[in-house]
Chain A
Amino acid sequence: MLRYLVRRIFYAGPILLGVCLATFALFYLSVSPEQMARRNISAKNPTQAQIRDWLVARGYDKPLQEQFTRHARSLFLLDFGKSDSTGEPIAQRLRQGAVPSLIVGSGVLFGSVGASVILALFVAAFRGTYVDRWATVLCVAGMSVTVLVFIIAGQYLFGKLLVWFPLAGYQSGIGGLRFAVLPILVGVASALGANVRFYRTVILDEMGKDYVRTARAKGVSEPRVLFVHVLKNAAIPILTSFVLSLPFVVTGSLLLESFFGIPGIGSYMVDAIDGQDFAVVRAMVFLGTVLYLVGAVLTDVSYALVDPRVRLE
């Protein structure tokens, strides 16, 4: 186990280096600092002096090697520096945003996996019947509606017409949870189509395997076949998709947070895009990458927990 972790960290090095180079090329070589400054300074026609000041204040006037060191530092040590537009430390904003993002993000993640797996099991139990056929059509239909429409319609229906939940906003503490309900519901609903379809395929795949027939031949009841035998084997692909979406629990859903006015990391990113804040966008890309790599390790660990055939070597 320890050896496995050490090796994984060792492997992550070159990948992080690659990400570092690719993002450096993207953020520093494909736009000149001057362009950055022009887009960031709010004045219509900034003077040369204004641009110079802006560049000096944010350290974009330094030679390229030095910029690269700073860039690499922020990726490897997660030392993000200061925002280009407001000048406040990015790490502080990320810490503030983490809790709201975590609440909404984990709600969406657990809610959608739970709901999708249950629905998929239900649909799989009715395989080959009209229930199954129409459920599949519904899933494809759900996949074909953009998230935006889910959000706008959800907000309109539950927030404005029925007034079950507040339209938008956020409050810390237990009372604030009611603000999280609608975004979570909308997030779960928008992911349902694709998830149910995927899990259904996974589950049906497992149901066609020989061990299911063996279990039935032993006289095991159908619910037991589904919930014990099939689900345990279907857990691996389900876990993969679960862990792969872990980074978004922290980075938050950009759209959900910005629509519902939740002051999480996601809406910080959306604000940064609006404010042409390069430093924040960079920081978010790094954060996402590191979380992704951590998630990959977690996936392997969880495989080993679920599947006795997998050994972490």
Chain B
Amino acid sequence: MILADCLAGLVVAACALALIHMLRSPLWSRAVSGFRRRPGAMFAVAVLGLYSLVAIADSFVLPARAGQPPETILDKLFARPQERTYSAPLAERTSEATPQPLLGRHILGTDGLGNDVLYRTLKGVRTAFLIGGATTLLVLPLALIFGLLAGYFGRWVDDAVQYVYTVFDSIPNILLLIAIMFVLGQGLLQMCLALGLTSWIGLCRIVRGETLKLRERGYVTSARALGYGSGRIIVRHILPNLLPILIIYATLSFSRLVLAEVILSYLQVGVPEYVGSWGNMIDAARLELTREPVIWWNLASATVAIFLLVFSLNVISDELRDGIDPSLRGA
């Protein structure tokens, strides 16, 4: 759990840095100011903000009472008494053959173990953010370093990097993902590692291509002619031009990662069951539709939660892309 906390800290720090960068650069502020005129974009930003609040609330541990497990703010706010079994949203009795009165109100009902569905759904937010965020943190440096080196230095460095990613790319993504998870075993960290190892290739290829292009630009050539070192040219002249692509790609990959988590968890190679995650919720909910009466609220809550997050991320990355560089449309 300490590891997860460290990861959470890193994710928050990275997001904050990215935000600060975005607000300071005129390119981004123009793209962002375009958001105000678009209701879709504003909606997406609001959803993302709300999710962030939940994730943050789930990250601060309150001082534990004696004999109790530590609780986060979210636990404190949304924990409801454990019921006996299923109950429909806002129901007063359980959904059993002989309905029993409930101990409390549950906005989204309860699942088979009597847990509050809203609470479980909200618990999944942090997991999704951790997986999306930590993996992106793994992917970005990996792809950046290899892509920049390959694109800037060319020749054998380029050959070597291209060889490495062609090898990785030849193994169908989902199979490699499953194989890694299968070998490493379930867990949050393992999952970030597996997702990271399979998703750096796409970005690396883009970074390499862009670096190749930027390298030939006049200002880079003149910097070289002035005798600036490679490191300085890469950091001062090439990297800043890659940032828009990086941020757009990060937003997009974040949403893909959230979806990947769901599938892996269903295949029993995702995060372990005790970690609240939407994948686990759906996995548990898939058999409930065959019950009488139908238990739909569990599945619906997880689905809507995933949908809102992924949809918002997709909308934001689309808007950023259109605002920054329309030529990237469809990338």
A and B touch in the complex (CB under 8 A): yes
A149 and B282: CB pair below 8 A?
A: yes
Q: Tell me the nearest residue of chain A to B296, going by C-beta.
A: A156
A:182-233 near B, CB below 8 Å:
197-198, 201-202, 205
* Most chain A Cβ neighbours within 10 Å, of B167, B286, B311: B167
B306 and A248: CB pair below 8 A?
A: no
Interface string of B135-168 (1 = CB under 8 A from A): 0000000000000000000000000000110111
Chain B residue contacts of A160, Cβ below 8 A:
289-290
B268 and A144: CB pair below 8 A?
A: no
B286 and A255: CB pair below 8 A?
A: no
A285 and B175: CB pair below 8 A?
A: yes
| Minimal beta-carbon separation of B285 from chain A (angstroms) | 8
- The stretch that binds A, out of B4-12, B235-243, B259-267, is B259-267
Is B314's beta carbon under 8 Å from chain A?
yes
A18 and B163: CB pair below 8 A?
A: yes
For chain B, give the interface size range.
35 or more
Interface string of B46-67 (1 = CB under 8 A from A): 0000000000000000000000
B306 and A27: CB pair below 8 A?
A: no
- The answer to whether residues A289 and B171 also contact, given A26-B183, A30-B183, A148-B262 and a CB cut-off of 8 A, is yes
Is A2's beta carbon under 8 Å from chain B?
no
| Minimal beta-carbon separation of A292 from chain B (angstroms) | 5
Is A15's beta carbon under 8 Å from chain B?
yes
- The stretch that binds B, out of A97-105, A135-143, A170-178, is A135-143
A156 and B262: CB pair below 8 A?
A: no
- The answer to whether residues A285 and B179 also contact, given A22-B167, A148-B262, A148-B286 and a CB cut-off of 8 A, is yes
B269 and A273: CB pair below 8 A?
A: yes
Interface string of A11-42 (1 = CB under 8 A from B): 00011101100110011001100000000000
Give the dominant DSSP class at A's interface. helix
Is A147's beta carbon under 8 Å from chain B?
yes
B:242-274 near A, CB below 8 Å:
255, 259, 262-263, 266-269
B263 and A31: CB pair below 8 A?
A: no
Chain A residue contacts of B290, Cβ below 8 A:
160
A15 to B171, CA, bound (A): 10
A289 to B163, CA, bound (A): 15
Q: Tell me the nearest residue of chain B to A133, going by C-beta.
A: B40
Is A152's beta carbon under 8 Å from chain B?
yes
Is A297's beta carbon under 8 Å from chain B?
no
Q: How many residues of A are in contact with the other chain, CB < 8 A? A: 49
Contact among A14, A30, A144, A248 for B311, CB-based, below 8 A: A144
Is A284's beta carbon under 8 Å from chain B?
yes
Contact among B40, B182, B303, B311 for A149, CB-based, below 8 A: B303
Contact among B164, B178, B303 for A146, CB-based, below 8 A: B303
Is A78's beta carbon under 8 Å from chain B?
no
Chain A residue contacts of B206, Cβ below 8 A:
none
Is B17's beta carbon under 8 Å from chain A?
no
A202 to B331, CA, bound (A): 10
Q: Tell me the nearest residue of chain A to B174, going by C-beta.
A: A254
| A interface residues with partner B (beta carbon < 8 Å) | 14-16, 18-19, 22-23, 26-27, 30-31, 137, 140-141, 143-149, 152, 155-156, 160, 197-198, 201-202, 205, 247-248, 251, 254-255, 269-270, 273-274, 278, 281-282, 284-285, 288-289, 291-293
**Contacts A/B (CB < 8 Å), 13 sampled:** A14-B163, A15-B170, A19-B167, A22-B171, A137-B40, A144-B314, A152-B286, A152-B289, A160-B290, A201-B329, A254-B178, A288-B175, A291-B172
Additional A-B contacts beyond A143-B314, A144-B310, A285-B176 (14; CB < 8 A): A18-B166, A31-B183, A137-B40, A141-B307, A144-B311, A145-B306, A148-B266, A149-B303, A152-B299, A198-B330, A254-B178, A255-B263, A273-B182, A293-B170
